[in-house]
Amino acid sequence: MRLLLMALIIAMAAGLAYAILSLPAESAGLSVYTTENIAISGVTNPVTAVLLNYRAYDTFLELGVLLLALLGVWSLGSTATASQRPSAPGPVLDNLARVLVPILIVVAGYLFWAGAYIPGGAFQAGAVLGAAGVLLILAGWRINHRLVGLPLRISLVLGLVVFAVVGTLFMLTDRQFLEFPPQYAGVLILLIEGLATLSIGIALAALFLGADPEEDDN
Amino acid sequence: MNDILWNLLLLSVPGLPLLLAFPPLHSRLPWFRYLAVTPAIIVALMSMTYSIELSWLLFGIGLGIDGQAQLLLGVSALLWIAVATLFSRKTSNSKAVNNLISSLFMLTMAGSFGAILATDLVGFFVFSTLMGYGFYGLLIAGDDLHHQTRRAARIYLVAMIIADVMLFEVLLITALVTENMSFAMAHQGIAQSDYLTLYLWLVVFGFALKAGIWPLHFWLIAVYRHLGSAMAILLCGVPVIIALLGMLRWLPLGETSSITTGVTLQGIGLIGLLYTCFLIFFEWLKNRSFTMITVYTMLLASGLFIIAIGTGLTDATTWIRYENSVYYFIALLSLALAILLALTIRLQQHHTTTTATQVDDNTAMWFERWPATAVAWAGNIGSHTLPEWRSGWLAKVNHLGLLVCVWKRSLAANERNLQGWTVAITLFLTLAAIITLLLIFH
Amino acid sequence: MINTIFLYALAGVGLFSLGLYALIVHAHLLRKILAINIMGSGVFLVLVSLADRTQGIAPDPVPHAMVITGIVVAVSATALALTLMLRVRSETGQAELLEEPPK
Amino acid sequence: MNLIFDTHWVMMLILLPLFGAVACFLWSRQAVTLGLITAVSVLLSVIALTLQVLEQGTLRYAVGGWGAPLGIDLYVDGLSLLMLIVTAVVGVAISVYSSAYFKPGKAKHYWPLWMFLWAALNSLFLSADIFNLYVTLELMGLAAVALVALSGSASALAAAMRYLLISLLGSLFYLMGVALLYHAYGTVDIALLAQQVESSPAVWAAIGLMVTGLLLKIALFPLHFWLPAAHSSAPAPVSALLSALVVKASFYILLRLWLDVFPEANLALSYLLGLLGASAIIWGGIQALYQTRLKLLIAYSTVMQIGYLFLAFPLASIIGWKAVFYLLLSHAIAKTAMFMAAGNILFYGGHDQIADLDRVAQRLPITLTAFGLAGISLMGLPPSGGFIAKWLLLEAIILSGQWWWAIILIAGGLLTGAYVFKVIGFAFTQAEVPHEPRMVPKRMEWVTLTVAVLAIMLGFMAPQLLALMDLGAPFGETMS
């Protein structure tokens, strides 16, 4: 069985390699279109333009995927066992967290801002923010129980909802869903990205935490 | 193949069973029941369109074979073989009764084959009548008849006579309109005449009565309740199917359209369908008799058939498009019903004989044991057709029984294996490889 | 220049195949989840490396955006998978799929 | 009327369930009410979209206003419209059913997940972009996995885990195919690809990867190994969703690609698919017959019915495609009813051992009637929707002259009849083990019956449905 398996996988790899090598050595893909329209996309970084304007619908759904994963994790209930509960952090971790978290938040802010013209953007910034959250959780910090319910949930869905609401608003003015007027595109993308960064960061940290903190409290 | 041989072959399809109906002949021949079906099988297997005119017989009868007839003939021959096998077990003690049953059997068979091959109204009428009365004979033949069966057979006979009178009227009308009684010419003639509506209704009524289509289904159900397996299969597969075929052949479908008649028929068919659905539902709740449910299923199918006929009458072009499928529908219907019936009735009998009290609990169980049942059935065929090999067969049957057990176990094991992660993904990759290779070497 | 691009793409194929192999042969769920991630990385590498066949001008941004989308999907799926694995372990006592066929 | 024709119903179909999901997530105490409101509004939107499309013809919607190849297009023709309609119908029924099925503790997790699944399904059926299809496929897969795990039992969790791995594996194969196609032709739009694709190594590899990846997700025999466990251990409404819609969604993608993107029909490959379909019918049918648990039996029946869908590939005629598509629709509805009925029985007796059904017929007559009616449709008896589908399939088989598929068709019908009767037979008997029944909410029973009647009614809607399928000629132009 093992041998057959290896043979099959090697055959597959060889076939794929052959297929890739048979591709033309030059191909502009869609880069012609992207550069043509970059001026009216609201940003100068082409990747951000694709993510948040040309193919913004993909990004919108993908925020949905992230939220859905969190819903899925929360629906599984608590998995925490005694060994997983972090004991009191050592002094090194504690101090590191105190230093690093502010730096990470600043870095996230920079990444989010820079995304408009150089590599960077909401997901990168969100990931850094998420890392800050993870560090805080490891250091024993827990979210205030008053914020655990609706406020936490609202912050989680904020990116998705604002994305959808902005997209829908322009539907009312004879445009398609997510069709930004060029003159406002830059501002709108910034607004969406900002809130998305926040939601993504919180969602990633929440994913790390596992169960719904509201249920954990009970 | 030369014409004379074809003529002989075609004639022998209904001819040989007719000939074998004579007691002196069939009492001396071994396996005569199977022998009688042989020409039908041969003709069904040859793909050729051919027809002959027997101007010397009655008013001139035509026999012919084409694709549609071939299909029906093939299926019908299969049914007859199955029934013949079942019949050979159920022989009476008295030799005279045995001979009588065999003769009636042959007559019914000759009628059914002849009706399928007939290319004109007269031929169809003659053969189907022969079949109808032959079947009545089979119903009442035998020593120990239940009085209920006699009563049911009486109802059947009355229904047949009324239907035949109707159809005879149709023959007269047609003869008035056209000289040539072949289906094609008769359709043309009748389509242009003033009698069209009367003709349509008489044909539909006559054959609907013969086929037991709702609301003329009363006799069918009454007869059904008291039949053995062989006769039930026969009833489903022969008289009813031939009557449906009659409707197809006699009605000028695809050549003329009669909206009112068509729509009315569709309505009747629809009501019949709904009614039958209710019947089935109540049967489930009340008695759970699978035999009856099978009959109701047939009623459902014939209701549908009536809707199809109605559609054919309203819209000729649609009919021409779908005509062939209707023939397939009939053929498959008879086959499927026969198989279902054979299994149900046999197994229900089996249960009643084993333990009378357990019947209620176990009726559904037989579905799980169908492989074993099939083996037992095959065993019975073997032991009755070839008595001298009986012991050998028994041994083989036992062996097969073991095989079935092994087979069932290996099925479960195979499924477990398929569910294993490694096997599954290896299969997945193999499939990917095969698909890609097929693409490349296309 | 061209050669290195295809080299990266081939490396992607390699990762994809390695991940696939690991996914099949390892019983532990954590390894399976990692294997899926490696396969995903392979696909992303193929997507992103071949985008640079533009001869001088900046690489095609669309595959880059696709990869970012893909990564977020992969992260989400991994998070769900890991939590599910922990739940399976706490219910059955082991982090393996039980229905392996008898050897 | 302007309201109907000018509103962007296409987007509403995606946004409404998504907002519904968010609302159910934020206000989980009112999740049931919010979910039901969303369900009804999605159904209304589908009706509006149908009117719109009937009036204005097929619809291409450029999200973001860019249009292919730069942007993402949505596309509505007869194929996608019917999928959306059947999703909405099944969706509303499931919503009503689940409003009584789940306890509050589960309901607050169930509703947002189900709304997400609905959004994923709608966006999948609408998408005309193979990369966007990947995203929707993942959205659907994750939602489905989370729903399977919802019951929290060990077997459900293990099934969900396996389902997740398989789903990801299939998606990655699909994504690799997308990568190859994009780099070969510089577009991911189905219509644009259809114009450009020709035979080349990259296309072969891409098709090979995408087809197998999708087959794994569709669970065509012999890749069905994950399906019975996942579909049978999930809560009943979820099982219904998975069997009726989720599996079909992957098939929908395969159908779209096969009809549009893949270069000229490959005879050998289509025969292989037909052959696998035929094996699935026989294998699934026999396995279903031997099952002792009701939900497993129904799950294997799904394995079997999936096989039917692949019989159209070797026939390659318009009527064949229409037949299997009709079958897909009627199976979706009949299977929903069947799983709901199984859910009622499970709810009532606390188990689903077929041998111990303990006179369910007398105690849950409505449920059992529904089961029987759904069974009629699965068997393909007249006048159900399944009958029309099998009739069309038979016609396609006769037209193509490949009569051997007809044997499979009939054998499949007999097998289906056998396992349906097996269940119904036991439903009348008294079980040896007495158990304490729990009352089934009336709402659950009546919804089940309604859906089952709908499965039968599909048989009477053939002209309308077949006409809808012709919208935009998804199966090719009819010769007339």
For residue B439, which of A200, C89, A15 has the smallest C-alpha distance? A15
Would you give per-residue pLDDT tens digits along chain C (103 residues)?
457 888 899 999 999 999 999 998 888 999 999 999 999 999 999 999 998 887 777 888 999 999 999 999 999 999 999 999 998 888 888 777 765 433 3
Mean pLDDT of chain D: 89
| pLDDT beyond 90 at B43 | no
C18 touches chain D (CB under 8 A): no
The band of B267, judged by pLDDT with boundaries at 50, 70 and 90, is confident
| pLDDT beyond 80 at D197 | yes
D263 touches chain B (CB under 8 A): no
Rounded Cα–Cα distance for residues D370 and D334 (Å): 9
Cβ–Cβ below 8 Å for B423 and A1: yes
Predicted confidence at residue B92, as pLDDT, reads 58
Determine the residue among C91, C94, C96, C100 to mutate to test chain D binding: the one whose Cβ has the most chain D Cβ atoms within 10 Å: C91
CA A209 to each of CA A37, A130, D238, D413: distance values in angstroms, whole numbers, following the listed order: 42, 11, 27, 51
| pLDDT beyond 70 at B354 | no
Cβ–Cβ below 8 Å for A160 and D18: yes
C-facing residues of B in 349-378 (CB < 8 A) are: none
D-facing residues of B in 375-434 (CB < 8 A) are: 408, 411-412, 415, 418-421, 424-425, 427-428, 431-434
Lowest-pLDDT choice from B221-235, D286-300, D310-324: B221-235
What b-and-e string marks burial along A59-84, b requiring 16 or more CB atoms within 10 Å of the CB? bbbbbbbbbbbbbbbbbbbebeeeee
In angstroms, the separation between the Cα of residue D225 and the nearest Cα of chain C is: 11
| pLDDT beyond 90 at D2 | no
- Tens-place pLDDT, residues D135-184: 999 999 999 999 999 988 888 999 999 999 999 999 999 999 999 999 99
Comparing CB atoms, the residue among C13, C84, C86 nearest residue A20 is C13
In angstroms, the separation between the Cα of residue C72 and the nearest Cα of chain D is: 10
Mean pLDDT of D325-343: 94
| pLDDT beyond 90 at D44 | yes
| pLDDT beyond 90 at D413 | no
SS3 A186: helix
Query: Which chains are adjacent to chain D, needing at least 3 Cβ pairs under 8 Å?
Result: A, B, C
Mean pLDDT of chain B: 75
Predicted confidence at residue B89, as pLDDT, reads 58
Mean pLDDT of chain A: 86
User: How many residues belong to chain C?
Assistant: 103
| pLDDT beyond 60 at D479 | no
In angstroms, the separation between the Cα of residue B368 and the nearest Cα of chain C is: 26
Predicted confidence at residue D332, as pLDDT, reads 95
Which helix H or strand E contains B61, and what residues bound it? strand B61-65
| pLDDT beyond 90 at B343 | no
Give the start-to-end residue ranges of the domains of chain B. 1-125, 145-354, 389-440
Rounded Cα–Cα distance for residues B294 and D379 (Å): 13
The band of B125, judged by pLDDT with boundaries at 50, 70 and 90, is confident
Q: Which residue from A minimizes the CA distance to C6?
A: A21
D402 touches chain B (CB under 8 A): no
Mean pLDDT of D445-462: 90
Which helix H or strand E contains B145, and what residues bound it? none
Task: Tell me the HSE value of C8 on the side-chain side, using a 13 A CA sphere.
Answer: 15
In angstroms, the separation between the Cα of residue B364 and the nearest Cα of chain C is: 31
Predicted confidence at residue B362, as pLDDT, reads 38
For residue D142, which of D120, D158, D122 has the smallest C-alpha distance? D120
SS3 C26: coil
Q: ω before D69 within 30° of 0 (cis)?
A: yes
- Tens-place pLDDT, residues A106-138: 999 999 888 888 888 889 999 999 999 998 888
Comparing CB atoms, the residue among D222, D266, D394 nearest residue B328 is D394
- Cβ–Cβ < 8 Å for B329, B71: no
Q: What is the ipTM of this complex?
A: 0.81
Which helix H or strand E contains B295, and what residues bound it? helix B290-314
- Cβ–Cβ < 8 Å for D90, D241: yes
The structure tokens listed for B421 are 């992660």
| pLDDT beyond 70 at B366 | no
Which helix H or strand E contains D75, and what residues bound it? strand D72-76
Mean pLDDT of A133-148: 81
- Tens-place pLDDT, residues B395-425: 666 676 677 777 777 777 777 777 777 888 8
Rounded Cα–Cα distance for residues D206 and D204 (Å): 5
- Tens-place pLDDT, residues D202-256: 888 999 999 999 999 999 988 998 999 999 999 999 999 999 999 999 999 999 9
Residues of chain A with C-beta less than 8 angstroms from the C-beta of C10? 17, 20-21
The band of D305, judged by pLDDT with boundaries at 50, 70 and 90, is very high
The phi, psi pair for D59, rounded to 5°, reads -125, 130
Could you tell me which residue, B142 or D194, shows the higher pLDDT? D194
CATH topology of domain C2-92: Helix Hairpins (1.10.287)
D16 touches chain C (CB under 8 A): no
Residues of chain B with C-beta less than 8 angstroms from the C-beta of A9? 429
Cβ–Cβ below 8 Å for D398 and B442: no
C93 touches chain A (CB under 8 A): no
Could you tell me which residue, B128 or B32, shows the higher pLDDT? B128
Predicted confidence at residue D64, as pLDDT, reads 86
B-facing residues of D in 437-476 (CB < 8 A) are: 456
Predicted confidence at residue D42, as pLDDT, reads 96
Predicted confidence at residue D120, as pLDDT, reads 96
Q: What would you report as the CA-atom Rg of chain B, rounded to the nearest whole angstrom?
A: 24
Mean pLDDT of D20-41: 93
Please report the sign of the dihedral spanned by the C-alpha atoms of residue B83, residue B88, residue B91, residue B97: positive
For residue B264, which of B313, B217, B215, B297 has the smallest C-alpha distance? B313
Predicted confidence at residue B277, as pLDDT, reads 81
Mean pLDDT of D117-133: 95
Give the start-to-end residue ranges of the domains of chain C. 2-92
- Tens-place pLDDT, residues D66-76: 887 889 999 99
Predicted confidence at residue B374, as pLDDT, reads 55
C98 touches chain B (CB under 8 A): no
A29 touches chain D (CB under 8 A): yes
Cβ–Cβ below 8 Å for A71 and D26: no
With tokens 């007999």, the residue in question is: D414
Determine the residue among A3, A9, A68 to mutate to test chain C binding: the one whose Cβ has the most chain C Cβ atoms within 10 Å: A9
| Beta partners for residue D61, in sequence order | D74
SS3 B54: strand
Q: Which residue from D minimizes the CA distance to C52?
A: D183
- Tens-place pLDDT, residues A54-105: 999 999 999 999 999 999 999 987 765 544 555 666 778 888 888 889 999 9
Number of A:D CB contacts under 8 A?
144
Cβ–Cβ below 8 Å for B429 and A1: no
| pLDDT beyond 50 at D15 | yes
Mean pLDDT of B41-60: 72
In angstroms, the separation between the Cα of residue D202 and the nearest Cα of chain B is: 11
B-facing residues of D in 346-385 (CB < 8 A) are: 361, 365, 369, 372, 381-383
3-state SS string over D266-317?
CHHHHHHHHHHHHHHHHHHHHHHHHCCEHHHHHHHHHHHHHHHHCCHHHHCC
Residues of chain D with C-beta less than 8 angstroms from the C-beta of B442? 199, 266-269
Report residue C26 CA to chain centroid gap: 15
Predicted confidence at residue C42, as pLDDT, reads 96
In angstroms, the separation between the Cα of residue C8 and the nearest Cα of chain A is: 11
CA D376 to each of CA B243, B271, B390, B435: distance values in angstroms, whole numbers, following the listed order: 26, 18, 41, 35
